[in-house]
Amino acid sequence: MAKKNLRPKEEEAAIDMTPMLDIVFIMLIFFIVTTSFVKESGVKVLEPTALTAEKKPKANIFIGITANSEIYMQKKKVKKEDVRTEVEAMLLENPESSIVIQADVAAKSGIMLDVMDAARAAGVKNISVAAEK
């Protein structure tokens, strides 16, 4: 008669990583979906000063106007005639976007008004002008 081994086999302890990876993946999707992306103008300007300047925490589209009256959106130079189409394309991603115009102190006010008109024609309701306090 064969002698049977009475000791149970030793099992290796292993941690199942699948549930943890599922949770991390779900959290990643949550943060990607809830993040609002800011569209920087991509140009440094010398902003005017104003005593009544207020901080706008919800602004996510920035349009920069240099002293030479050049318009920048998303780090690229844009023609005045193309501002409306660029803003409309950004509104497709986030219809509740608000715009901050960062105009240089030496920029002509006429170009700033043209940019504001183009943004309003594109459907933006909340437009602000950046200023230092």
CATH number at residue 118: 3.30.420.270
| Tens-digit pLDDT profile for residues 74-108 | 888 999 999 999 999 988 888 888 888 988 888 88
Answer whether residue 49 is part of any domain: no
Number of domains in the chain: 1
pLDDT of residue 1: 53
- pLDDT score, position 91: 87
Burial class (CB in 10 A: 0-12, 13-18, 19+), 119: buried
- Is the residue at 8 inside a domain? no
Full domain range(s) for residue 104: 61-129
Please compute the mean of the pLDDT values over residues 12-28 and round it to a whole number.
84
Is residue 26's pLDDT more than 60? yes
| Assigned domain for 110 exists | yes
Total-model pTM? 0.67
Residue 96 burial (CB count, 10 A): 11
